[in-house]
Amino acid sequence: MTDVKTQINETVKANDVVLYMKGTKEMPQCGFSSRVAGVLNYMGVEYADVNVLADEEVRQGIKDYSDWPTVPQLYVKGEFVGGCDIITEMTLSGELDTLFDENGVEFNKEAADKIREANA
């Protein structure tokens, strides 16, 4: 059996964008996970979702891996980006667009602009 840290590291490195969340991108199980998944889904980002509720070791392991106490957690190109508040802030400021552009992650720029317009 692979230890959980190795499993998480392999998942984060094997996918351009990974969201550790409660539930799945199709059916989030908490409001914070729903918000981040909703942003990524609306922007058309291809990402892997990992349901921490399905495995208690992963649920605790991801917090230890990132040294971040809460879920959801977004990773882009192997790097921890942040949780719900940080992703919301980055979306509204345009920083998330820049991060995706710099890392070659495809997303719908019009959708990103619409999110900002709706929250202006």
pLDDT in tens, 13-52: 999 999 999 999 999 999 999 999 999 999 999 999 999 9
Is 1 a residue whose pLDDT tops 90? no
| CATH 3.40.50.720 holds for 4-118 | no
Domain boundaries, the chain: 4-118
Ramachandran sector of residue 79 (left: φ over 0; alpha: ψ -120 to 50; beta: rest): beta
Q: Cα–Cα distances in Å, from 115 out to 71, 82, 108?
A: 22, 19, 11
Res. 2 pLDDT band, cuts 50 70 90? low
Is 81 a residue whose pLDDT tops 90? yes
Query: pLDDT digits over 49-62, tens only?
Result: 999 999 999 999 99
The predicted model scores a pTM of: 0.95
Ramachandran sector of residue 78 (left: φ over 0; alpha: ψ -120 to 50; beta: rest): left
Res. 120 pLDDT band, cuts 50 70 90? confident
